Structure formats: C-alpha cells, structure tokens
C-alpha cells in the first residue's frame, strides 16, 4: 500500500516532521511518502493562505494520479484545505487531518478540546467540527497564539503543553486534539504529562487511509465528487484545467 502525505505549505522542515509522524504510525508494509508542493505559502495561517495553498496541493495529487504512485492521500494541514477538490481528482481515498483527528477523538470520551496555533484560526476549526457533525463533541478550540513556523522555537512546547492542561482542567475534556500538523512530534509526550489521550491528526489520517484502502473503499463519484468537468481556465490557472499537463 502506498500513501502520499501532502504538506500544503512549502516549508520542507515541516514536511519532514509530518513524514516522520506518518511513517511511525503506518503499518508494516505500507509505504508512506510526504511531499512539499512547488508553489504556495510557507505556512497556512489565514483564509488567504489556505486558498493559495490549494493549487500546489492539487498539482501533487494530479501528479501522483498520473504516475499511479499512490493508493490514498493525506492532506496534512488542520484546515483540511482543498479536501473536496482533491476527492474529485483522486481514485483512492483522501483524508484531511482535522476530520481524522476529530473523529478519532470522538471515540475516546464524551468531549475533546482542540489546541491550535494562532487565535485567528480558531473559527476555522470550529467550523470544521460543525461541518463534520462533531460540534457536540468539541468542547472548546483553544489557541496558543504561536505561529506555525514558531513551533520549533524555545518555549513553544511548554506553551502548547500548558494549553493542553487547561483543556483537561477547565474544559473537562476526555481527549485533546493537536490542531496543527507541525505539533505532531509533541503528541506522545504531552499525553504522558496531562494524563488523557492526545490525538495527532497526521497519525490518525494515515491510519484512516490505510483502513479505507484495505477495505477497498474510495470516495463515491456518481454525483458531487465525480471528476470535474473539462473547461478552459485562464491566466495563472490555465494549466489547471482538466486534461492539462498538470491536471491530466
């Protein structure tokens, strides 16, 4: 089985962190590869960033589809950018880390909290919980007010840990979801310190894709998720029309 994990931002160091988490969580015999798109923002911290990350993400899926090099895909950004569009292009299942993490956390108790990066991204996480039908499980979305690329800086781990502790004490949550792919490496140590399950979306999404592929399941394509109709695209997006060298 081959799983392609796409980091929708263009920071290679974060892609390496994401790949390590995905590889560690995968079953023996599953080949996991993480990729960095050739275009897009260095981090995704706004609706604008998210929108402009999608073309590079879709180009990576189109390339893998043309090569036949992936059985399923993980979108490794907690905003799940381009998820629906990716499902129109891919033959195999596509799973976003926010959906996978929240669904996994909902199995673990009556409620979970999300601990994310910047305060401005809280609304997006709340919207996704509602969109996935999980709002009643999501007790609170908390922000550390740390930028995505600052997660490697001194003191960042302690700030994330402190917010996770508050989620347990103040929210009464039975589990915590880490709301950024760049937090993946913190998962186990934070769980050990706060005494409740901590869910890393990269690991959860990787395992979810494995399960779907093993069951022979993929996104249904009779209606909304059928392949997009061919039509001209203009300007900077001219190569993204269906049938072009990028989106073949």
The pLDDT tens digits of the residues spanning 66-105 come to 999 999 999 999 999 999 999 999 999 999 999 999 999 9
**Range with top average pLDDT, 96-100, 225-229, 241-245:** 96-100
pLDDT single digits (tens) 145-162 = 999 999 999 999 999 999
Instruction: Measure CA of the first residue to CA of the last residue in the chain; give whole Å.
Output: 23
Task: Tell how strand 31-35 and strand 112-116 pair up.
Answer: unpaired
Does residue 248 surpass a pLDDT of 80? no
Mean pLDDT for the chain overall: 96
- Whether the predicted model's global pTM rises above the 0.95 cut: yes
Walk me through the domains of the chain, giving residue ranges and CATH numbers. 2-96+204-240 (3.40.50.12500), 98-200 (3.40.50.12500)
Does residue 46 surpass a pLDDT of 80? yes
Does residue 246 surpass a pLDDT of 90? no
């Amino acid at each position: 089985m081959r799983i392609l994990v796409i980091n929708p931002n263009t920071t290679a160091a974060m892609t390496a962190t994401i790949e390590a988490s995905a590889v560690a969580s995968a079953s023996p015999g599953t080949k996991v590869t993480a990729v960095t798109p050739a275009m897009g923002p260095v981090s995704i911290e706004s609706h604008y960033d998210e929108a402009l990350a999608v073309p590079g993400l879709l180009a990576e899926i189109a390339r893998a589809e043309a090569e036949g090099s992936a059985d399923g895909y993980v979108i490794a950004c907690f905003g799940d950018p381009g998820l629906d569009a990716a499902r129109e292009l891919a033959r195999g299942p596509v799973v976003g880390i926010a959906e996978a993490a929240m669904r996994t956390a909902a199995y673990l108790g009556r409620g979970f909290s999300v601990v994310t990066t910047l305060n401005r991204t809280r609304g997006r996480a709340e919207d996704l919980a509602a969109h996935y039908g999980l709002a009643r499980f999501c007790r609170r979305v908390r922000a550390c007010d740390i930028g995505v690329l600052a997660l490697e800086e001194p003191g960042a781990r302690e700030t994330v840990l402190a917010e996770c502790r508050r989620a347990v004490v103040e929210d009464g949550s039975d589990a915590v979801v880490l709301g950024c792919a760049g937090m993946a490496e913190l998962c186990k140590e934070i769980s050990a310190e706060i005494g409740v399950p901590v869910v890393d979306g990269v690991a959860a999404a990787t395992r979810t894709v494995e399960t779907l592929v093993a069951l022979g399941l993929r996104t249904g394509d009779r209606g909304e998720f059928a392949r997009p109709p061919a039509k001209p695209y203009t300007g900077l997006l001219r190569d993204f029309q269906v049938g072009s060298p990028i989106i073949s």
